[in-house]
Amino acid sequence: MSKKRDLGVVYPGEELGVEEEFIPDHGVYVDKNGYIRSLFLGRVLIDSVRKTISVRRVNQKILIPKINDIVEGVVTSTSDDIAFVKIYSVNDRYVRSIDFTGILHVSQVSTEYLETIYDAMRIGEVVRARILSINYPFQLSTKEPVLGVIVAYCSNCGNILYKRDNKLECVNCGSVEKRKISNLYIYR
């Protein structure tokens, strides 16, 4: 009896594993280096008993971000120069059943100089950004006034920050913080 696992949606050419790990089945190919890759946009299925990997086409139309689309997402990790964003909305339409990741370089955050991305956003905050490239992960920009952080949290106590002038203020502990704030910031 087969035991199949669905590992989610993948893009054409996305690396799924190696020949030594799985037997390639339908919807995949092996490149010259022995990596198993997806032939098309679809869902990855692994049969742990037969040791096969396949990709099944997705029948429903999937909303895939394009260049210049506006996306919203949650910052999942940061370093000094980049932030990773899990995208949940494209052009104000929620994306279901697929995970998109965007990457935001510090040079694309603001028109002003920033020493580190931490000066503009933190993990867990919600950002609105523009898609710059269709290569995965999607390259993002928040340079425009309507783009940037739309929900932020206090670094001291974790409460929601409220917009006061060009700063964000915590009503719980009084902390005042700076972010790359969107004109569409939710809490005022």
Q: What are the sequence ranges of the domains in the chain? A: 4-57, 70-177
Query: In this structure, which amino acid lies at residue 120?
Result: A
Residue 151 vs residues 8, 11, 52, 124, 154: alpha-carbon distances, Å: 28, 30, 43, 9, 10
Binding residues for Zn(2+): 154, 157, 170, 173
Q: Could you state, in chain order, the average pLDDT of each consecutive group of 10 residues for the chain (188 residues)?
A: 62 87 90 88 86 81 85 94 92 74 96 93 95 92 97 93 91 94 92
Q: Could you tell me which residues are annotated as the binding site?
A: 154, 157, 170, 173
Instruction: Give the bridge partners for 94, in sequence order.
Output: 89
| For the chain, counts of helices (H) and of strands (E) | 0, 17
Q: What are phi and psi of 118, to 5 degrees?
A: -65, -20
The pLDDT assigned to 88 comes to 84
Per-residue confidence (pLDDT) for residue 61, from 0 to 100: 65
CATH number attached to the domain at 70-177: 2.40.50.140
pTM for this predicted structure = 0.69
Predicted local distance difference test score (pLDDT) of residue 3: 58
User: CATH for 4-57, among 2.30.130.10, 2.40.50.100, 3.10.110.10, 3.40.50.300?
Assistant: 2.40.50.100
Residue 102 pLDDT: 95
Which residues 6+ apart lie within 8 Å of 147 measured at CB? 70, 127, 128, 129, 130, 141, 182
Max distance between CA atoms of the chain, in angstroms, equals 63
What pLDDT, on a 0 to 100 scale, did the predictor assign at position 98? Answer: 66
Question: Cα separation of 46 and 31, whole Å?
Answer: 19
Q: What is the pLDDT of residue 93?
A: 82
Type of residue found at 103: I
Determine the 3-state secondary structure of 119 from DSSP.
Answer: helix
Phi, psi of 117 (to 5 degrees): -65, -25
- The answer to whether 4-57 and 70-177 have equal CATH topology is yes
